[in-house]
Amino acid sequence: MWRDIRIEQEELLSPLAAHSKDSLGRRLPEEPCKVRSDYERDADRILYSEDFRRLRHKTQVFFNAKNDHICTRMEHVLYVRAISTTIGRTLGLNQDLINAIALGHDIGHAPFGHSGDRALHNCIHKLNPALSFRHESHSLRVGDRLSTRISREKIHERCGLNLTYEVRDGIVSHCGENYDEYILHADKMKDPDKIYETEHRKCMPYTLEACVVRLVDKIAYVGRDIEDAIRAKLIDYKDIDPEIRRELGATNGEMINTLVQDIIENSYNTEYIRLSKAKGEALREMIMTNNKLIYQSALIRRYEINAKNAVEGLFEMLYECARNLDRKNKSKPMERLIGFIDEKGYQEDEPPEQIVTDYIAGMTDAYALQSFEDLYWI
């Protein structure tokens, strides 16, 4: 009864919206919830997961910041959800689906932000060229395989959170490769069975809801990173090109408001999620400015060296432990790694480099640093 009410509410959405009753389903079938839609259920599973909880202690840009006002990965995710929901509600799209995709889009991020991602990729790819690390692909792996949930339902295979296809596609498709990408459309021709083989950065998401999250992901961080850089005394608002400030606004709030209104005005009742050319180009220039003034700054480069050293040091030592598992070894690093392996139920043929990558990627900044000290402290 209650679930039927939710389904009926979806009938009021735009004809372009995704409807949970039309979902391509889960990897393993489950009895539907008596109250929530499938997408709403997915959002709750992500929100209550340990993987989501750890995001509050993972870097956005500034590593292991002691200042409570510096943005964390969890805050970024919540900003993406809030902005995406505003746009989706106005366009008549499925807010439950947007909510789930936004909450899960960075759930597989490594510690130390994108610096940690790059370091992990280099480590695993050097040992096994067939393997790589991209946070969006690992977010899918977390949702499909690594995350665990408490349920009375008897599921006989390890299927992580067992999310619907539309949420899984939105998570793995959220990262656009080009900064000048500001017109998106839903690709209904994607093959669901090839979700792991598809080069998602070079193709569109499956739903318009996922397109919203993909575009908002950029909007949510560009102004917020400027705020943090100003707080860290890296830059001043006056360093931003006056033309960009006139086009987008002088503060993070003004930028978000300008871009949200522009997306709505240019996307309403269309099959696209898009910015106007002027605002899209201004956003691209803003991101490039951030790249020059913030992400390539001397301070961030020093952080990046520290992150690289920590990840590489962890990987090297833990890889040797994974290759030569010794349950009689009572050292803290070995016991923790064995506990992780047992918890995740890896098969015997799982490559040790993949196990170690999964283990490190799930660490918070502080836990990674503490593990590094445990391994190398003399």
- List, for residues 237-250, the tens digit of each pLDDT value: 888 899 999 999 98
Which residues partner with 183 through β-bridges?
274
CA distance 268 to 274: 10
Task: List beta partners, residue 72.
Answer: 59
Percent helix, strand, coil in the chain, to 5, is 60, 5, 35
Q: Return mean pLDDT, the chain.
A: 90
Closest CA to 367 of 311, 325, 327: 311
Are 254 and 337 part of one and the same domain?
A: no
**pLDDT recorded at residue 250:** 87
- The answer on 171 and 233 residing in a single domain is yes
User: Does residue 158 surpass a pLDDT of 90?
Assistant: no
What CATH number is associated with residue 153? 1.10.3210.10
User: Which phi and psi angles does 93 have, rounded to 5°?
Assistant: -90, 175
Co-location of 280 and 308 in the same domain:
no
CA neighbor of 263 nearest in space, from 277, 253, 273: 273
Residue 252 maps to a domain = yes
In whole angstroms, how far apart are CA 361 and each of 117, 172, 209, 305, 358? 8, 16, 27, 18, 5
Q: Which domain holds residue 364?
A: 300-376
Contact in structure between 73 and 58 (CB atoms under 8 Å): yes
Task: Please report which confidence band the pLDDT of residue 52 belongs to, taking 50, 70 and 90 as the band edges.
Answer: very high
Single residue among 262, 279, 296 that ends a domain in this structure? 296
**Tokens for 55?**
């995001």
> How many beta carbons lie within 10 A of that of residue 374, not counting itself?
14
- 376 falls in which pLDDT band (50, 70, 90)? confident
CB 188 within 8 A of CB 22: no
Q: Report the C-alpha dihedral over residues 366, 60, 76, 103, rounded to 10 degrees.
A: -60
Whether 180 has a pLDDT exceeding 80, the answer reads no
- pLDDT score for 283: 95
What H or E segment, with its residue span, contains residue 4?
helix 2-10
**Closest of 166, 113, 120 to residue 140, by C-alpha:** 166
Q: What is the pLDDT of residues 343-360, one digit of tens each?
A: 888 988 899 999 999 999
Residue 98 shares a structural domain with residue 162: yes
Model confidence pLDDT, tens digit, residues 218-235? 999 998 888 888 888 888
Residue with tokens 């006139």: 246
Tell whether 253 and 359 lie within a shared domain.
no
Q: Which two tokens stand for residue 272?
A: 């696209």
* Domain boundary, last residue among 296, 315, 334: 296
* CB half-sphere exposure, 169, CA atoms < 13 A: 30
State whether 211 and 360 are in the same domain: no
Q: Which of 47, 51, 20 is nearest to 36 (CA)?
A: 20
Tell me if 206 sits within 8 A of 186, measured CB to CB. Answer: yes
The CB density around residue 177, as the number of other CB atoms within 10 Å, is: 10
Helix (H, G, I), strand (E, B) or coil at 243: helix
Q: Are residues 228 and 359 in the same domain?
A: no
pTM score, whole prediction: 0.94
- Name the one residue in this structure whose structure tokens are 């005394």: 233
Residue 156 has pLDDT above 50, yes or no: no
Residue 323 inside a domain? The answer is yes
Same domain, 314 and 372: yes
Tokens of 96: 């439950």
Check if the beta carbon of residue 109 is closer than 8 Å to that of residue 135: yes
Domain count, the chain: 2
Q: Are residues 327 and 290 both part of a single domain?
A: no
pLDDT at residue 258 greater than cutoff 80: yes
Q: Taking 60 as the threshold, does the pLDDT of residue 179 lie above it?
A: yes
Share of residues in the chain with pLDDT > 90 (%) = 65
DSSP assignment letter at 273: E
pLDDT, tens digit, for every residue of 73-132? 999 999 999 999 999 999 999 999 999 999 999 999 999 988 999 999 999 999 999 999
Please say if the pLDDT value at position 370 is more than 60. Answer: yes
The DSSP code sequence of 135-192 is HHHHHHHIIIII-----SS---S--TT--BHHHHHHHHT---S-TT--EEE--TT--G
Residues 158 and 305 reside in one and the same domain: no
Which of 271, 296, 321 is a domain's end point?
296
